[in-house]
Amino acid sequence: MPWRPFHEDGVLASWRQVIPTAFTLAAMFVGFLSILTTIQGMVAGGNPCRFYQWSAKLIMLAMVFDGLDGNVARWLGGQSEFGGELDTYVDLTAFGIAPAILVFAVTLPHKDPFWRILLPSCVALSGVVRLARFKVKDPLRGQGGYAGLPITANASWVALFCFVTLIPPRDELTGKLGVLFLVGIAIFIVLQVSRFHYPKPTKKAALFVPCLILVALFLFAPRPWNARVAIVMIAGGLVYVFLGPLFFKGMEAHRARKEAVEP
C-alpha cells in the first residue's frame, strides 16, 4: 500500500505533494519565528536592534520557502488544494502579521499610542483583505498575475528597510528615515487593495533564480555586503511596485496580439 501522509481521502496523495507542502510549512515556521524574535527584542532590554535584524532576515527566508513551494509543486506535478489553502495562512502569518509586529516594534515608540497602533493594524488588515480577495477572485492563484500589489512586497520593504537602517546602536526608526519608512508602508498597503494588476515574477525561472540568489546573498553574506544586497533588492522592489502595472499591461497587449494572429 502506498504511503499516504494524512488520510485516505487523498488530501496529500503522494510524495510529489508532500515535498512542496514541506516547503510551505517551513515558511510558516520561519514566519512565526520572526514574530517571536521581534517580541524577544521588545522585552529583552538593552539594544534590541540585533533581534529586529534577525526578524527581518527570517521574513526574507520565509519568502524563499514560499517561492519554492509553488515552483517545486509545478516542477513535480504535485499541486494540491491542501497546499493552496495552507499557502494562504503562511502569507498571512509571515508576510502580514510578522511585518506588522516589526513595524510596531521599530517605529513611533515615543509617540501617541494611537498612531503607533494604527499603522501596524492597517498593515495586518490590508494583508487580510488582500489575501481574501485573492482567494475569492483569482482561481488561478496568481499564475496569470495579481490583482493588487502582492503582500510580499510590503513585507520585503519592512524587512529590508529595517535591516539596512537599524545599525547598532540605533534601535528604532525616527527622523527622515522613519518618515520615508512609514510613507512607503502607507503607499504599499493601499496598493495591496487596489485594482492595479501586477505580473508574477517568481513564475519564470529566469526571474525567480536571480531573486533567489539575491536573497541567499542577503541572508549569508558577511557585513557590509548583505546590507548592500538589501539596498539592491529595495531598489528592484520599488521598480516592481511602481512599474509592475505597466509591465502587466504590456504582457496583456502582447498576449492579445499573439492570439489575434494565431489561426
DSSP string for 5-57: SS-TT-SS-SHHHHHHHHHHHHHHHHHHHHHHHHHHHHHH-S--HHHHHHHHH
Which position has the higher pLDDT, 246 or 76? 246
Residues 28-80: tens digit of each pLDDT: 999 999 999 999 999 987 788 899 999 999 999 999 999 888 778 777 777 77
Which position has the higher pLDDT, 134 or 56? 56
Q: By the 8 A CB rule, do 160 and 230 touch?
A: yes
Q: In the chain, what are the domain boundaries? A: 15-261
Q: Mean pLDDT across the stretch 19-26? A: 90
- Check residue 238 and give its pLDDT: 94
pLDDT grade for 4, boundaries at 50, 70 and 90: very low
CATH code, residues 15-261: 1.20.120
Q: Mean pLDDT across the stretch 17-26? A: 88
- Check residue 169 and give its pLDDT: 73
pLDDT for 208 beyond 70: yes
- Check residue 124 and give its pLDDT: 94
Which position has the higher pLDDT, 185 or 258? 185
- Check residue 198 and give its pLDDT: 87
Q: What is the mean pLDDT of the chain?
A: 83
pLDDT for 11 beyond 60: no
